[in-house]
Amino acid sequence: MASTTPTENEYVTLESSDGFQFIIHREAAMLSGTIRNMLSSAGQFTESTEGVIHFRDIKAVILEKVCKYWYYKARYLNSVTEIPHFEIEPEYALETLMVADFLDT
Amino acid sequence: MPQGSNKIEFCSRCRARFTIKAGATPAVDENDGGLLCPTCASSSSPSVATPKARPVKRPRRKAQKAEIESQVPSLQDLCIQKIANCIEDVEGFGDISDLSMDKICRIISRNRSLNANTLQLFLDSRHSDLSLYDCTDINALGLQNIAQFCPSLRSLKLKFCGRIDDSVMDYYTSHLSQLTSLSLIGPILITEASYIKFFEAMGERFTRFELKHSARFSLKALKALCDNCPNLTHLRLGDCGQMDDEWMEPISNLTKLKSLRLRNPERDRVSTEKVVKLIQAVGSGLEELELKGFVEIEDPVLLDAIRPSCVRLERLNISGCEEFTTEAIQTLFKDWTVNRGLSYINLENCVMLKDEALMAITAHSATTLETLNIKGLDELTKDALLTITKCENLTMLDASWCRAMDDEVMEQLVKSASRLNKVVVWGDHRLTECCPSRKGMKIVGREGDFIDLRFM
């Protein structure tokens, strides 16, 4: 459905290269500079009208990690309590770094 | 004093002369009863003091907010920290491709986190190429480790390597026995003697040398390079403070040169005749020639040197050579049949150039040209810009500050140059937000993208 009721707009769908879909809060996804540009550019791109973004180069494991990070960041962005450490598995650290660089996160 | 006329007084506090408008009562200093100028009066009156206090508060609030935000580190930082912490397990990353390794090095350098710890990640005895993009945080010992851990390096590139000193350079000289290519950006500590030793050891296997931002690289060192390394094919010297006329002669002995890039000599140090002689000597082999920022050199370089000698030339960069005239460029490219056409031309800020110059270029290199930079040539008119459409293989065009660039020219370009994927148009005010584009083509610097339509 292309109609834009606010409830539908609340979430965006991110699809990984191996076909997993992550449906996450628009606000959380907007913490990525790249996604923010994709979703809020003035032109009528399919990404911004339908709220679905395909990442052909990002595997599900990594995309999941990045989504978790956005929620982590959204949760603790303005908190005054102590922030727990965000755990990254060392075996994924390099790939995550490359994806984080691409997503400007 | 007549009614209705202004009065001139001196301020009792700052001694400045000021005018009291007719009928107005000037402010009085509370301490000594003298008159105050409007500036001093407003600074002491409480009603004006509040807006002044506000700007002090605002940035503080912003800074506080920034502090809170920065408490959540970016994912990139977290990953780099993790990688740095696990550096001992570096064997585990072994099967990553060289390309992604280089990419990671770029990311880490951009985040300014390349240090002795993270450096370990990129050192491996199997590596033959190594590029480090920011060596600011690596000390001399760390830099020396490069030669220790990667003894089979063929090519080494170090950017911002200000901490590399003579002892490290000597260590490279004695340990990197397969090195053929070296690139140093900003090696401020290495002295002449060390360079000479290095070039003597490199000898005939040395093929590429790049040096930028070095005030200590001297004529003697250059002579050692040219005498000992006759097989040099690529030479790049930029922003070397000592570069002058005498440098040109040793370079002209390097007859195997394919690529020569000289950049930004000091003013009045390099003359036209010497450059002409140099290019006449080495020009026949050159595929790439860069003379960037040679502000004083004149037309003979184009007419007597480049036109007859540079038969194989494919890439030409004469950006910032302000003395080149339209007529010379025209003569260079007109019927230049010995040259088959250039793929890269950079004329940035050659401010004297007019329409005929660009027309001659597009007529000569129409089928071969891939990258064209005409930034800052604001004398160009639409007629000349339209001739760019003849270059059907163009992939990148920088036409910033070419005021005649408009939607029509752009439309023609989009139509004719099917491989064009990047156009830079800063300061081209005639391009509107409706200027034509197509999928996969990037237009950088369009004015309409930055002006909010709500205010128009």
Using 50, 70 and 90 to split pLDDT, how confident is the model at B88? low
A100 touches chain B (CB under 8 A): yes
pLDDT at B99: 74
Mean residue pLDDT across chain B: 85
Q: What is the mean pLDDT of residues B156-162?
A: 95
Does residue B155 sit in the same domain as residue B247?
no
Residues B81 and B141 in one domain: yes
Using alpha carbons only, how large is chain A's radius of gyration in Å? Answer: 14
- Is residue B1 assigned to a domain? no
Q: How confident is the model at residue A4 (pLDDT cuts 50, 70, 90)?
A: very low
Judged by CB atoms closer than 8 Å, whether chains meet at A77 and B68 is answered as yes
- Give B47's pLDDT tier (boundaries 50, 70, 90): very low
Please judge whether B72 and A100 are an interchain contact, meaning their C-beta atoms are less than 8 angstroms apart. no
Give residue B195's pLDDT band: very low, low, confident or very high (50, 70, 90): very high
Same domain, B49 and B137: no
pLDDT reading at B178 higher than 50? yes
All residues of chain A having their beta carbon less than 8 Å from the beta carbon of residue B104 are: 94, 97-98
Residues B217/B242, Cβ–Cβ less than 8 Å: yes
Rounded-to-10 torsion of CA A63, A64, A67, A72? -140
Closest chain A CA to residue B88: A90
Nearest CB partner across the interface for A97, out of B72, B79, B92 = B79
State the pLDDT at residue B244: 93
The answer to whether residue B290 is domain-embedded is: yes
**B130 and B150 share one domain:** yes
Query: Which class for B377: exposed (0-12), middle (13-18), buried (19 or more C-beta within 10 A)?
Result: buried
Q: Is A81 exposed, middle or buried (0-12, 13-18, 19+ CB in 10 A)?
A: exposed
Statement to judge: residues B263 and B151 lie in one domain: no
Question: Does B260 fall in a domain?
Answer: yes
The CATH number linked to B420 is 3.80.10.10
Domain range enclosing B62: 7-70
pLDDT of residue A51: 83
Long-range contacts of B139-142 (CB under 8 A, 24+ apart): B139/B163, B140/B164, B140/B165, B140/B167, B140/B168, B141/B116, B142/B115, B142/B116
Asked whether the beta carbons of B366 and B393 are under 8 A apart, the reply is: no
Is residue B93 over pLDDT 70? no
What's this model's pTM, rounded to 2 decimal places? 0.72
Hey, are the CB atoms on A77 and B72 less than 8 Å from each other?
Answer: yes
Report pLDDT for B120. 82
Top residue of A80, A81, A94, A96 to mutate, by most chain B CBs within 10 Å, is A94
In a domain, B32, yes or no: yes
Domain end point (choices B42, B70, B98): B70
Q: Identify whether residues B82 and B227 lie together within a single domain.
A: yes
Residues of B in contact with A43 (CB under 8 A): none
Q: What domains can be seen in chain A, in order of their start residue?
A: 6-103 (3.30.710.10)
User: Where is the domain boundary, B206, B234, B262?
Assistant: B234
B62 and B86 in a single domain? The answer is no
Choose the closest CB to B79 out of A73, A83, A93: A93
B109-149 per-position pLDDT tens digit: 888 888 888 888 888 888 889 999 999 999 999 999 999 99
- Residue B74 touches chain A, beta carbons under 8 Å: yes
Both B125 and B196 in one domain: the answer is yes
Asked whether residue B169 falls in the same domain as residue B259, the answer is no
Same domain, B122 and B189: yes
Task: Answer whether residue B280 is part of any domain.
Answer: yes
Contacts of B210 (CB under 8 A, 6+ apart): B157, B182, B183, B184, B185, B234, B235, B236, B237
Q: Looking at B40-44, B190-194, B234-238, which range is the least confident one?
A: B40-44
The answer to whether residue B318 sits within a structural domain is no
Closest Cα partner for B331 from B361, B354, B366, B355?
Answer: B361
Q: Are residues B184 and B264 in the same domain?
A: no
Alpha-carbon Rg for chain B in angstroms: 30
Looking at chain A from residue 11 to 50, which residues have their Cβ under 8 Å from any Cβ of chain B?
A: none
Res B23: pLDDT: 64
Share of chain B above pLDDT 90, in %: 63
Tell me the mean pLDDT in the region A31-49: 80
| Mean pLDDT value across residues B355-370 | 94
Check pLDDT > 60 for residue B164: yes
Interface confidence (ipTM) of the complex: 0.84
Q: How far apart are CA A50 and CA A52, in angstroms?
A: 6
pLDDT confidence tier of residue B194, bands split at 50, 70 and 90: very high
Number of domains in chain B: 4
The answer as to whether B252 is a domain residue is yes
pLDDT of residue B160: 94
Residue A38 has what pLDDT?
84
Question: Among residues B351, B347, B376, which one has the least CA distance to residue B360?
Answer: B347
Same-domain pairing of B90 and B223: yes
Q: Is the pLDDT of residue B280 over 90?
A: yes
User: Counting beta carbons within 10 angstroms of the beta carbon of residue B142, is it exposed (0 to 12), middle (13 to 18) or buried (19 or more)?
Assistant: buried
Residues 6+ apart with CB under 8 A from A103: A32, A33, A34, A35, A66
- Give the pLDDT score at B264: 94
Pick the range with the lowest mean pLDDT from B153-157, B172-176, B344-348, B445-449.
B445-449
Strands B27-28 vs B17-20: parallel, antiparallel or unpaired: unpaired
The 3-state secondary structure of chain A, one letter per residue: CCCCCHHHHCEEEEECCCCCEEEEEHHHHCCCHHHHHHHHCCCCCHHHHHCEEECCCCCHHHHHHHHHHHHHHHHHCCCCCCCCCCCCCHHHHHHHHHHHHHHCC
